[in-house]
Amino acid sequence: MSPALPIRLERLAYRVPGKTILDCLEATIAEPGITALIGPNGAGKSVTLRLIDGLLTPSEGTIRIGADGSARRAFVFQRPALVRASVSRNVALALEPLALSRRERTSRIERALARVGLRGRAGDPATKLSGGEQQRLALARAWATEPQLLLLDEPTASLDPAATEALEALVAEMAGGGTKILIVSHNLGQVARLADDVVVLDAGRAVEHGPTRQVLFHPRTAEARAYLKGELPWTSFAAAS
Amino acid sequence: MHETLSDTFSRLASLDREVFAIAWLSLRVSLSAVLIGCLVGIPLGSLVAVSRFPGRSGAVGLLNAAMGLPPVIVGLVVYLLLSRSGPLGPLGILFTPAAMVAAQSVLVTPLIAALTRQIVADAEAHLGEQLRSLRLSAWRRAGILIFDVRFSLLTAVLAAFGRAISEIGAVLVVGGNIDGFTRTMTTAISLETQKGDLALALALGLVLIGLVILVSMAASLLRAYAARAYG
């Protein structure tokens, strides 16, 4: 079993002044592979990923990752955040905290860039890459750290279909290599193609969790059904009133 | 008027030693001050941009307010520190170019720090979350952000150079405007105008403007190159 499993989110709450974003969220993710977090805008999906990564601190509740919480994590954001430096330098930055030998560092950079098809662009300025290439570079940067848990926040939201397909293949390859992946996506086709299980979030709570086909095609809860049917909270509200 | 202009251009054309000695001293003093300002102001501004600590907004307000320090007041404070009875009196540098560098450094450091903070804070908004997720220390994150905005920081350096080379109050108070020793372009222009040597004042003014334009052009070219090379 992956050292990142199980991921337990216990009575998780996150509040900012005047707003509750997560409200007593409970979920246990115990299966390897790819878990998708879906739900309407503002449901708390991205905040959940940031809490799991440690970028945010919960207002209440606890997050337990694996047996001892030491699993290596990496995060790929919706918009790739790259430094104005070469492609290889951007990957090297991620390896700095790992205290690797120079040889190991170089080897990991080369392998990661080769895996995402950017080895020939290693010396190019990262900001000159296309959107799809930049996101592949962001994935290579994560890959180079050999994460046990990879968090993806809408990684294909701004990509064209070809770049999306290429990125999905890489994500599937990583999952096949034993990395546990949590992905936030609004693209239900992508969720169906990639995810092994799905957590549906609504108004800061996990309202449903199950195998992908079951959640997407036979949702049990009204919130999940409404989201999957494309009903927006305010349209349901208008219909009810 | 015609005679003054003709005298001005003949001084410039003949590479008048007095004009160029004054210009060279001004350049040395201001560039030294800007260098010290960069060494202190860039790390300081970057750390304020990436760190979260109690009283941070007060520190940012103080930095921004210090951008507008009146040169003559800075000169007076540095004078008091360097005067024989002041705490730094034993250094014996009052009325020397070193004192002028010190005064101008005090003047430009907050300007560089405040502009750096703003530039780095903007970069932090874009890159900060990613750098934190890579588990890099605050110092390292600040270093990476400085590297990322290195070409934008030219604006801060340029603004500091403009402030240093064109100020008169601080260098006049701590330098004393001593002929051939601490006379800069701005103090000389003021003095020569009062004495009626308008040709020398104008010649110095043209050199001063020329220098500022040259430095600005060099910075613009570097920025344009960087935009082409790194996006």
* B130 chain-A contacts, CB cut-off 8 A: 75, 77, 81
Q: Tell me: the pLDDT tens digits for A53-112?
A: 999 999 999 999 998 888 999 999 999 889 999 999 999 999 999 989 999 999 999 999
Kind plus residue range of the DSSP H or E element containing A19: strand A19-29
Kind plus residue range of the DSSP H or E element containing B133: helix B97-133
Token pair recorded at residue A196: 């092994």
Answer whether A93 sits within 8 Å of B134, measured CB to CB.
Answer: yes
C-alpha torsion B95→B99→B103→B106, nearest 10: -160
Mean pLDDT across chain B: 92
Closest-CA residue to A47 (of A151, A188, A186, A162): A151
Taking the Cβ of residue A17 and every Cβ of chain B, the question of whether any pair is shorter than 8 Å is answered with: no
What's the complex ipTM?
0.86
CA distance A9 to A28: 6
Q: Please give, rounded to a whole number of angstroms, the shortest distance from the CA of A51 to a CA of chain B.
A: 11
CA distance A168 to A196: 14
Torsion angles phi and psi, residue A118, rounded to 5: -120, 15
- Name A125's bridge partners: A86
Token pair recorded at residue A48: 């959940």
Residue of A nearest to B226 (CA): A84
The average pLDDT across B179-187 equals 94
Distances (CA, A) of A34 to A83, A86, A186, A221, B194: 29, 31, 15, 22, 80
DSSP alpha helix (H) spans, chain A: 45-53, 87-95, 102-115, 131-144, 161-176, 188-194, 212-217, 222-228, 233-240
Residue of B nearest to A130 (CA): B231
* B223 chain-A contacts, CB cut-off 8 A: none
DSSP alpha helix (H) spans, B134-197: 138-148, 153-166, 169-175, 185-195
The distance of Cα B81 from the centroid of its chain, to the nearest Å, equals 20
Structural domains present in chain B: 2-230 (1.10.3720.10)
The average pLDDT across A197-221 equals 95
C-alpha torsion A154→A158→A160→A165, nearest 10: -20
Which stretch of A110-119, A125-134, A223-232, B103-112 has the lowest confidence by average pLDDT? Answer: A223-232
Is A103 in a helix, a strand, or coil? helix
Token pair recorded at residue B216: 């600005």
Residue A1: what pLDDT?
67
Mean pLDDT across chain A: 92
Residue B231: what pLDDT?
67
